[in-house]
Chains A and B, each alone.
Chain A
Amino acid sequence: MDIDIRTFVELQGVPFITNTVTTTWIIMIVMFAASMSVTRKLNMIPGTAQQIAELLMEGIHWLVDNTMGEDKMNFAPFILALSLFILISNFMGLIAVRHPTADLNTTFALAGITFLLVQYHGLRAKKLNYIKGFFQPLPFLFPLNLISELALPISLSFRLFGNMLGSIVIMIMMYMFVPILVPIIGHIYFDLFIGLIQTFIFVMLTMTFITLAMD
Protein backbone atom coordinates (compact mmCIF):
# COMPACT_ATOMS: atom_id res chain seq x y z
CA MET A 1 0.00 0.00 0.00
CA ASP A 2 1.02 3.57 -0.65
CA ILE A 3 -0.04 6.95 0.73
CA ASP A 4 -0.39 8.27 -2.81
CA ILE A 5 -2.97 6.90 -5.22
CA ARG A 6 -1.50 5.06 -8.22
CA THR A 7 -2.73 6.25 -11.60
CA PHE A 8 -3.06 3.84 -14.54
CA VAL A 9 -4.65 6.03 -17.21
CA GLU A 10 -4.35 9.78 -17.46
CA LEU A 11 -6.60 12.06 -19.49
CA GLN A 12 -5.10 15.48 -20.28
CA GLY A 13 -3.03 15.43 -17.10
CA VAL A 14 -6.01 14.48 -14.90
CA PRO A 15 -5.94 11.03 -13.26
CA PHE A 16 -8.69 9.06 -14.98
CA ILE A 17 -8.33 5.41 -13.98
CA THR A 18 -6.58 4.85 -10.65
CA ASN A 19 -6.14 1.79 -8.46
CA THR A 20 -9.11 2.87 -6.31
CA VAL A 21 -11.30 3.05 -9.43
CA THR A 22 -10.40 -0.50 -10.47
CA THR A 23 -11.03 -1.75 -6.91
CA THR A 24 -14.42 -0.02 -7.00
CA TRP A 25 -15.26 -1.83 -10.24
CA ILE A 26 -14.29 -5.19 -8.75
CA ILE A 27 -16.43 -4.53 -5.65
CA MET A 28 -19.35 -3.53 -7.89
CA ILE A 29 -19.02 -6.72 -9.95
CA VAL A 30 -18.76 -8.91 -6.83
CA MET A 31 -21.79 -7.23 -5.20
CA PHE A 32 -23.80 -7.50 -8.43
CA ALA A 33 -22.90 -11.14 -9.00
CA ALA A 34 -23.57 -12.08 -5.37
CA SER A 35 -26.99 -10.45 -5.26
CA MET A 36 -27.91 -11.99 -8.65
CA SER A 37 -26.88 -15.50 -7.61
CA VAL A 38 -28.68 -15.24 -4.27
CA THR A 39 -31.99 -14.02 -5.73
CA ARG A 40 -31.94 -16.35 -8.75
CA LYS A 41 -33.74 -19.23 -7.08
CA LEU A 42 -35.41 -18.24 -3.83
CA ASN A 43 -36.68 -21.10 -1.67
CA MET A 44 -39.21 -21.25 1.12
CA ILE A 45 -36.58 -23.16 3.08
CA PRO A 46 -33.57 -20.86 2.62
CA GLY A 47 -30.03 -22.06 2.02
CA THR A 48 -27.00 -20.50 3.68
CA ALA A 49 -26.54 -17.68 1.15
CA GLN A 50 -30.22 -16.81 1.20
CA GLN A 51 -30.22 -16.83 4.99
CA ILE A 52 -27.37 -14.32 5.12
CA ALA A 53 -29.11 -12.11 2.56
CA GLU A 54 -32.38 -12.26 4.50
CA LEU A 55 -30.52 -11.42 7.71
CA LEU A 56 -29.00 -8.32 6.07
CA MET A 57 -32.36 -7.29 4.62
CA GLU A 58 -34.14 -7.67 7.96
CA GLY A 59 -31.40 -5.79 9.81
CA ILE A 60 -31.58 -2.86 7.41
CA HIS A 61 -35.39 -2.86 7.50
CA TRP A 62 -35.26 -2.71 11.30
CA LEU A 63 -32.72 0.14 11.20
CA VAL A 64 -34.64 2.17 8.58
CA ASP A 65 -37.90 1.60 10.42
CA ASN A 66 -36.37 2.81 13.69
CA THR A 67 -34.46 5.79 12.27
CA MET A 68 -36.58 7.06 9.40
CA GLY A 69 -40.07 5.80 10.23
CA GLU A 70 -42.51 3.44 8.58
CA ASP A 71 -43.41 5.81 5.72
CA LYS A 72 -39.84 5.94 4.38
CA MET A 73 -39.27 2.19 4.02
CA ASN A 74 -38.64 2.61 0.28
CA PHE A 75 -35.17 3.93 1.18
CA ALA A 76 -34.15 0.52 2.57
CA PRO A 77 -32.65 -0.90 -0.69
CA PHE A 78 -30.55 2.23 -1.20
CA ILE A 79 -29.35 2.16 2.41
CA LEU A 80 -28.44 -1.55 2.14
CA ALA A 81 -26.47 -1.02 -1.09
CA LEU A 82 -24.71 2.03 0.35
CA SER A 83 -23.73 0.33 3.60
CA LEU A 84 -22.56 -2.88 1.87
CA PHE A 85 -20.40 -0.92 -0.58
CA ILE A 86 -18.80 1.21 2.13
CA LEU A 87 -18.31 -1.83 4.40
CA ILE A 88 -16.60 -3.93 1.71
CA SER A 89 -14.49 -0.91 0.69
CA ASN A 90 -13.39 -0.35 4.28
CA PHE A 91 -12.43 -4.03 4.68
CA MET A 92 -10.20 -3.87 1.58
CA GLY A 93 -7.22 -2.95 3.77
CA LEU A 94 -7.26 -6.52 5.11
CA ILE A 95 -5.98 -7.87 1.78
CA ALA A 96 -3.45 -5.02 1.38
CA VAL A 97 -5.49 -3.25 -1.29
CA ARG A 98 -6.02 0.50 -0.98
CA HIS A 99 -9.54 1.19 0.32
CA PRO A 100 -11.65 2.92 -2.37
CA THR A 101 -13.03 5.00 0.52
CA ALA A 102 -9.52 6.35 1.15
CA ASP A 103 -9.91 8.27 -2.13
CA LEU A 104 -11.61 11.66 -1.81
CA ASN A 105 -13.30 11.15 -5.20
CA THR A 106 -15.20 8.06 -3.98
CA THR A 107 -16.31 9.54 -0.66
CA PHE A 108 -17.28 12.83 -2.29
CA ALA A 109 -19.39 10.96 -4.85
CA LEU A 110 -21.13 9.01 -2.06
CA ALA A 111 -21.72 12.17 -0.01
CA GLY A 112 -22.93 13.91 -3.19
CA ILE A 113 -25.60 11.23 -3.65
CA THR A 114 -26.74 11.84 -0.07
CA PHE A 115 -26.74 15.62 -0.62
CA LEU A 116 -28.83 15.36 -3.80
CA LEU A 117 -31.26 12.95 -2.11
CA VAL A 118 -31.65 15.35 0.84
CA GLN A 119 -32.35 18.31 -1.45
CA TYR A 120 -34.67 16.39 -3.81
CA HIS A 121 -36.78 14.73 -1.12
CA GLY A 122 -36.88 17.89 1.01
CA LEU A 123 -38.14 19.86 -1.96
CA ARG A 124 -40.69 17.19 -2.89
CA ALA A 125 -42.03 16.75 0.63
CA LYS A 126 -42.23 20.40 1.70
CA LYS A 127 -42.51 22.19 -1.70
CA LEU A 128 -42.22 25.98 -1.20
CA ASN A 129 -41.78 25.70 2.55
CA TYR A 130 -38.43 24.01 1.96
CA ILE A 131 -37.08 27.02 0.04
CA LYS A 132 -38.64 29.34 2.61
CA GLY A 133 -36.67 27.46 5.27
CA PHE A 134 -33.45 28.87 3.84
CA PHE A 135 -34.64 32.44 4.61
CA GLN A 136 -35.46 31.73 8.24
CA PRO A 137 -35.35 33.07 10.91
CA LEU A 138 -34.30 36.26 9.07
CA PRO A 139 -33.97 36.72 5.29
CA PHE A 140 -30.42 38.08 5.39
CA LEU A 141 -29.23 34.85 7.02
CA PHE A 142 -29.66 33.09 3.66
CA PRO A 143 -25.89 32.85 2.96
CA LEU A 144 -25.29 31.28 6.37
CA ASN A 145 -28.06 28.72 5.80
CA LEU A 146 -26.59 27.91 2.39
CA ILE A 147 -23.12 27.35 3.87
CA SER A 148 -24.45 25.09 6.61
CA GLU A 149 -26.29 23.09 3.93
CA LEU A 150 -23.10 22.76 1.84
CA ALA A 151 -21.13 21.73 4.94
CA LEU A 152 -23.09 18.44 4.98
CA PRO A 153 -21.44 16.71 1.99
CA ILE A 154 -18.01 18.13 2.90
CA SER A 155 -18.01 16.90 6.49
CA LEU A 156 -19.63 13.59 5.47
CA SER A 157 -17.02 12.82 2.81
CA PHE A 158 -14.00 13.98 4.80
CA ARG A 159 -15.09 11.98 7.87
CA LEU A 160 -14.90 8.71 5.94
CA PHE A 161 -11.83 9.76 3.95
CA GLY A 162 -9.92 11.01 6.98
CA ASN A 163 -10.51 7.85 8.97
CA MET A 164 -9.50 5.53 6.14
CA LEU A 165 -6.44 7.63 5.26
CA GLY A 166 -5.52 7.42 8.92
CA SER A 167 -5.78 3.65 8.85
CA ILE A 168 -3.55 3.48 5.76
CA VAL A 169 -0.86 5.80 7.19
CA ILE A 170 -0.78 4.04 10.57
CA MET A 171 -0.71 0.55 8.98
CA ILE A 172 2.23 1.57 6.74
CA MET A 173 4.12 2.75 9.82
CA MET A 174 3.23 -0.46 11.67
CA TYR A 175 4.55 -2.64 8.83
CA MET A 176 7.71 -0.49 8.76
CA PHE A 177 8.61 -1.00 12.42
CA VAL A 178 7.16 -4.40 13.39
CA PRO A 179 6.42 -6.36 10.20
CA ILE A 180 5.31 -9.61 11.89
CA LEU A 181 2.26 -10.50 14.04
CA VAL A 182 1.71 -7.04 15.58
CA PRO A 183 -0.01 -5.59 12.44
CA ILE A 184 -2.81 -8.13 13.04
CA ILE A 185 -3.96 -6.05 16.03
CA GLY A 186 -3.75 -2.94 13.89
CA HIS A 187 -5.83 -4.55 11.15
CA ILE A 188 -8.50 -5.60 13.66
CA TYR A 189 -8.77 -2.09 15.09
CA PHE A 190 -8.13 0.18 12.09
CA ASP A 191 -9.73 -1.87 9.31
CA LEU A 192 -12.44 -3.99 10.95
CA PHE A 193 -13.53 -1.85 13.92
CA ILE A 194 -13.07 1.68 12.49
CA GLY A 195 -14.39 0.48 9.13
CA LEU A 196 -17.56 -0.87 10.74
CA ILE A 197 -18.11 2.21 12.93
CA GLN A 198 -17.53 4.62 10.04
CA THR A 199 -19.92 2.68 7.78
CA PHE A 200 -22.56 2.86 10.48
CA ILE A 201 -21.98 6.58 11.05
CA PHE A 202 -22.11 7.41 7.31
CA VAL A 203 -25.36 5.47 6.83
CA MET A 204 -26.93 6.81 10.03
CA LEU A 205 -26.11 10.42 9.08
CA THR A 206 -27.52 9.85 5.58
CA MET A 207 -30.77 8.50 7.02
CA THR A 208 -31.04 11.23 9.66
CA PHE A 209 -30.46 14.10 7.22
CA ILE A 210 -32.99 12.76 4.71
CA THR A 211 -35.54 12.36 7.50
CA LEU A 212 -34.85 15.87 8.83
CA ALA A 213 -35.31 17.39 5.38
CA MET A 214 -38.59 15.53 4.78
CA ASP A 215 -40.35 16.01 8.14
Chain B
Amino acid sequence: MYTLLQFIIDSGFDWLAEQDPKALILAASAIGAGITMVARIGTAIGQGYAAGKAAEASAMNPQTIRQTTFVMLLGQAVTETSGIFSLVIALILLYTNPLVIASGIGIVLICSTLGAAIAMIAGFGPGVGQGYAAGQAIEAISYRSHMQGSIIRTMLLGQAIGQTTGIYALIVALILLYANPLL
Protein backbone atom coordinates (compact mmCIF):
# COMPACT_ATOMS: atom_id res chain seq x y z
CA MET B 1 0.00 0.00 0.00
CA TYR B 2 1.34 3.38 -1.03
CA THR B 3 0.86 5.39 2.11
CA LEU B 4 1.40 9.06 2.68
CA LEU B 5 4.50 8.22 4.70
CA GLN B 6 5.89 6.35 1.71
CA PHE B 7 5.12 9.37 -0.47
CA ILE B 8 6.96 11.69 1.90
CA ILE B 9 10.02 9.43 1.89
CA ASP B 10 9.96 9.04 -1.90
CA SER B 11 9.64 12.74 -2.61
CA GLY B 12 12.81 13.73 -0.84
CA PHE B 13 11.20 14.79 2.44
CA ASP B 14 12.55 11.75 4.25
CA TRP B 15 14.07 13.95 6.95
CA LEU B 16 10.50 15.00 7.79
CA ALA B 17 9.54 11.41 8.58
CA GLU B 18 12.45 11.05 10.98
CA GLN B 19 11.33 13.95 13.14
CA ASP B 20 8.82 13.73 15.96
CA PRO B 21 5.47 14.83 14.40
CA LYS B 22 4.71 16.98 17.43
CA ALA B 23 7.98 18.87 17.05
CA LEU B 24 7.13 19.55 13.39
CA ILE B 25 3.71 20.95 14.33
CA LEU B 26 5.34 23.23 16.90
CA ALA B 27 7.81 24.38 14.26
CA ALA B 28 4.97 25.00 11.81
CA SER B 29 3.18 27.06 14.49
CA ALA B 30 6.28 29.21 14.86
CA ILE B 31 6.50 29.88 11.11
CA GLY B 32 2.73 30.39 10.96
CA ALA B 33 2.73 33.02 13.71
CA GLY B 34 5.28 34.92 11.66
CA ILE B 35 3.34 34.56 8.41
CA THR B 36 0.11 35.95 9.91
CA MET B 37 1.90 39.22 10.63
CA VAL B 38 2.27 39.85 6.86
CA ALA B 39 -1.33 41.09 6.89
CA ARG B 40 -0.26 44.02 9.05
CA ILE B 41 1.42 45.60 5.98
CA GLY B 42 -2.01 46.40 4.57
CA THR B 43 -3.24 47.81 7.87
CA ALA B 44 -0.19 50.04 8.07
CA ILE B 45 -0.66 51.35 4.52
CA GLY B 46 -4.32 52.12 5.22
CA GLN B 47 -3.63 53.86 8.51
CA GLY B 48 -0.82 55.86 6.96
CA TYR B 49 -3.11 57.00 4.15
CA ALA B 50 -5.74 58.11 6.69
CA ALA B 51 -3.09 60.01 8.68
CA GLY B 52 -1.82 61.71 5.53
CA LYS B 53 -5.32 62.78 4.56
CA ALA B 54 -5.87 64.14 8.08
CA ALA B 55 -2.69 66.21 7.84
CA GLU B 56 -3.79 67.54 4.46
CA ALA B 57 -7.27 68.33 5.75
CA SER B 58 -5.98 70.20 8.79
CA ALA B 59 -3.80 72.36 6.53
CA MET B 60 -6.65 73.12 4.15
CA ASN B 61 -9.29 73.81 6.76
CA PRO B 62 -7.78 74.50 10.21
CA GLN B 63 -11.22 75.08 11.80
CA THR B 64 -12.08 71.38 11.51
CA ILE B 65 -8.91 69.96 13.06
CA ARG B 66 -10.74 68.46 16.03
CA GLN B 67 -13.36 66.75 13.87
CA THR B 68 -10.82 65.38 11.37
CA THR B 69 -8.60 64.08 14.18
CA PHE B 70 -11.58 62.31 15.73
CA VAL B 71 -12.55 60.69 12.42
CA MET B 72 -8.92 59.79 11.75
CA LEU B 73 -8.64 57.92 15.06
CA LEU B 74 -12.03 56.24 14.56
CA GLY B 75 -11.21 55.18 11.00
CA GLN B 76 -7.77 53.92 11.97
CA ALA B 77 -9.23 51.92 14.85
CA VAL B 78 -11.67 50.17 12.51
CA THR B 79 -8.84 49.64 10.01
CA GLU B 80 -6.96 47.88 12.78
CA THR B 81 -9.60 45.08 12.79
CA SER B 82 -7.83 42.89 10.22
CA GLY B 83 -4.59 43.39 12.10
CA ILE B 84 -6.31 42.23 15.29
CA PHE B 85 -7.68 39.15 13.49
CA SER B 86 -4.21 38.10 12.41
CA LEU B 87 -2.85 38.84 15.87
CA VAL B 88 -5.53 36.53 17.33
CA ILE B 89 -4.57 33.68 15.00
CA ALA B 90 -0.87 34.27 15.78
CA LEU B 91 -1.53 34.16 19.55
CA ILE B 92 -3.67 31.01 19.20
CA LEU B 93 -0.89 29.36 17.18
CA LEU B 94 1.73 30.35 19.74
CA TYR B 95 -0.08 29.55 22.98
CA THR B 96 -3.02 27.19 22.50
CA ASN B 97 -2.62 25.59 19.08
CA PRO B 98 -5.33 22.88 19.20
CA LEU B 99 -3.55 20.90 16.45
CA VAL B 100 -0.66 20.06 18.79
CA ILE B 101 -2.86 17.69 20.79
CA ALA B 102 -5.04 16.65 17.82
CA SER B 103 -4.63 13.17 16.38
CA GLY B 104 -4.08 12.77 12.66
CA ILE B 105 -1.47 12.38 9.96
CA GLY B 106 1.53 14.55 10.79
CA ILE B 107 1.89 16.29 7.43
CA VAL B 108 -1.82 17.23 7.36
CA LEU B 109 -1.54 18.79 10.81
CA ILE B 110 1.54 20.75 9.76
CA CYS B 111 -0.10 21.97 6.56
CA SER B 112 -3.29 22.92 8.43
CA THR B 113 -1.25 25.04 10.81
CA LEU B 114 0.56 26.75 7.95
CA GLY B 115 -2.68 27.09 5.98
CA ALA B 116 -4.41 28.87 8.84
CA ALA B 117 -1.52 31.33 8.95
CA ILE B 118 -1.44 31.86 5.18
CA ALA B 119 -5.21 32.48 5.11
CA MET B 120 -4.74 35.50 7.37
CA ILE B 121 -2.59 37.26 4.72
CA ALA B 122 -5.95 38.17 3.14
CA GLY B 123 -6.19 40.81 5.87
CA PHE B 124 -3.86 42.87 3.69
CA GLY B 125 -6.70 43.90 1.39
CA PRO B 126 -9.30 45.03 3.95
CA GLY B 127 -6.57 47.00 5.73
CA VAL B 128 -5.74 49.05 2.63
CA GLY B 129 -9.40 49.42 1.64
CA GLN B 130 -10.65 50.51 5.05
CA GLY B 131 -7.79 52.96 5.42
CA TYR B 132 -8.65 54.45 2.03
CA ALA B 133 -12.29 54.83 3.10
CA ALA B 134 -11.17 56.55 6.32
CA GLY B 135 -8.93 58.93 4.36
CA GLN B 136 -11.71 59.93 1.98
CA ALA B 137 -14.11 60.44 4.91
CA ILE B 138 -11.58 62.78 6.55
CA GLU B 139 -11.33 64.79 3.33
CA ALA B 140 -15.12 64.94 3.04
CA ILE B 141 -15.44 66.21 6.62
CA SER B 142 -12.88 68.97 6.03
CA TYR B 143 -15.10 70.22 3.18
CA ARG B 144 -18.49 69.75 4.85
CA SER B 145 -17.99 69.57 8.60
CA HIS B 146 -21.71 69.97 9.36
CA MET B 147 -22.35 66.59 7.66
CA GLN B 148 -20.06 64.82 10.16
CA GLY B 149 -22.71 62.42 11.50
CA SER B 150 -23.83 61.00 8.19
CA ILE B 151 -20.28 60.85 6.80
CA ILE B 152 -19.12 58.79 9.81
CA ARG B 153 -22.11 56.46 9.50
CA THR B 154 -21.47 55.87 5.80
CA MET B 155 -17.77 55.34 6.45
CA LEU B 156 -18.38 52.75 9.19
CA LEU B 157 -20.96 50.92 7.05
CA GLY B 158 -18.63 50.76 4.06
CA GLN B 159 -15.69 49.68 6.19
CA ALA B 160 -17.80 46.92 7.76
CA ILE B 161 -18.68 45.54 4.33
CA GLY B 162 -15.06 45.89 3.23
CA GLN B 163 -14.07 43.78 6.21
CA THR B 164 -16.08 40.78 4.92
CA THR B 165 -13.14 39.34 2.96
CA GLY B 166 -10.98 39.38 6.06
CA ILE B 167 -13.77 37.68 8.01
CA TYR B 168 -13.91 34.82 5.50
CA ALA B 169 -10.15 34.40 5.95
CA LEU B 170 -10.69 34.24 9.72
CA ILE B 171 -13.46 31.63 9.25
CA VAL B 172 -11.15 29.42 7.16
CA ALA B 173 -8.32 29.80 9.67
CA LEU B 174 -10.58 28.90 12.63
CA ILE B 175 -12.05 25.91 10.73
CA LEU B 176 -8.52 24.65 9.96
CA LEU B 177 -7.57 24.98 13.62
CA TYR B 178 -10.67 23.89 15.52
CA ALA B 179 -12.99 21.92 13.20
CA ASN B 180 -10.63 20.55 10.58
CA PRO B 181 -12.57 18.18 8.25
CA LEU B 182 -9.34 16.77 6.79
CA LEU B 183 -8.23 15.02 9.98
Given A159-B160, A205-B157, A205-B160, answer yes or no on A66-B150 (Cβ-Cβ < 8 Å): yes
B-chain residues with CB within 8 Å of residue A155 when the two chains form the complex: 164, 167-168
B66 CB-CB contact with A under 8 Å: no
Q: How far in angstroms is the closest Cβ of chain A from B88?
A: 4
- Contact A208:B84 (CB < 8 A) given known A3-B92, A159-B163, A169-B92: no
- Which residues of B are found within 8 Å of A38, using beta-carbon distances? none
Interface size on A, residues (CB 8 A): 24
- Least CB distance from B78 to A in Å reads 7
A158 contacts B95, C-beta separation under 8 Å: no
- A197 to B150: give the CA distance in the assembly, Å: 15
Closest B residue to A3 by beta carbon equals B96
Instruction: Tell whether, in the assembled complex, residue A200 and residue B156 are in contact, meaning their CB atoms are under 8 Å apart.
Output: yes
| CB <8 Å contact, B77 and A193 | yes
Interface residues of B in 121-171 (CB under 8 A from A): 150, 153, 156-157, 160-161, 163-164, 167-168, 170-171
* A residues 121-180 touching B (CB-CB < 8 Å): 151, 154-155, 158-159, 162-163, 165-166, 169-170, 173
Which residues from A are CB-within-8-Å of B163?
A: 159
Closest residue on chain B to residue A204 by CB atoms: B157
The reply to whether the CB of A7 lies closer than 8 angstroms to some CB of chain B is no
A201's partner among B84, B91, B160, B168 (CB-CB below 8 A) is: B160
Give CA–CA (A22, B161) in the complex, Å. Answer: 32
Q: Check A67 for interface membership: any CB of B closer than 8 A.
A: yes
How many Å lie between the Cα of A84 and that of B168 in the bound state? 27
Q: A3-B96, A170-B87, A204-B153 are in contact. Are A197 and B168 (CB under 8 A)?
A: no
Chain B residues with CB under 8 A of A151? 164
Given the complex, which residues of A lie within 8 Å of B160, measured CB to CB?
159, 201, 204-205
> What is the bound-complex CA distance between A170 and B88, given in angstroms?
7
Does B157 contact A162, Cβ atoms closer than 8 Å? no
B residues adjacent to A (C-beta < 8 A): 74, 77-78, 81, 84-85, 87-88, 91-92, 95-96, 150, 153, 156-157, 160-161, 163-164, 167-168, 170-171
What are some 21 contacts across the A-B interface (CB < 8 A)? Answer: A3-B96, A66-B153, A151-B164, A154-B171, A158-B167, A158-B170, A158-B171, A159-B163, A162-B167, A163-B84, A166-B84, A166-B85, A166-B88, A169-B92, A170-B91, A200-B156, A204-B156, A204-B157, A204-B160, A205-B160, A208-B157
Chain A residues proximal to chain B, CB less than 8 Å: 3, 66-67, 151, 154-155, 158-159, 162-163, 165-166, 169-170, 173, 189, 193-194, 197, 200-201, 204-205, 208
